[in-house]
Amino acid sequence: MSGQGAADIETIGRLAGAWRLAAIELPQMDRTTRETNAVGLLVLTVDGHMAIQVRNLDASVADNAYSSGGYEATYGTIMLDPVSSTFVYHVDGALVQDLVGQDLPRAYRVVDDQLILTSTRDEETWRVVWRRAQQNGQSADEAVEERAS
């Protein structure tokens, strides 16, 4: 994240930490939304590194561009644009080799303890909701504050 401004540093500080998958929402033809049965973890560091792992728990669901064998795993770096609440995720490594080297544009929103991600690509209409991971019954933010005091 070198070369990032003060607003970027403040934003990445709010986004940094561990996030557990709460929901992957897929729009259906009838305009309803279907949630996938999956578990996962997203980790974002204050220096802009990100890693994502998601395991599909429903063996009947086909793989997609991000998964192989019902599993998604990527890591890389992000370049934030806090003004537009977007970032570009540059994939340095992935289980699905076609993802390596790609720049994946994402929009984000933080609502309470949730991080909501969507693609900014027209052909991708999913929405992923992450919930800040708990540590010993505390939110990650509370755990950091406790260690600091």
Which has more pLDDT, 11 or 40? 40
pLDDT grade, residue 137 (50/70/90)? low
What's the average model confidence in pLDDT over 19-47?
Answer: 89
Domains of the chain: 3-146 (2.40.128.280)
pLDDT in tens, 56-111: 999 888 899 999 999 999 999 999 999 999 999 999 999 999 999 999 999 999 99
CA distance 149 to 147: 6
Tell me which H or E stretch contains 143. Answer: helix 140-148
CA distance 130 to 38: 12
For the entire predicted model, the pTM comes to 0.83
Token representation of residue 38: 């999956």
Indicate the residue type of 78.
I
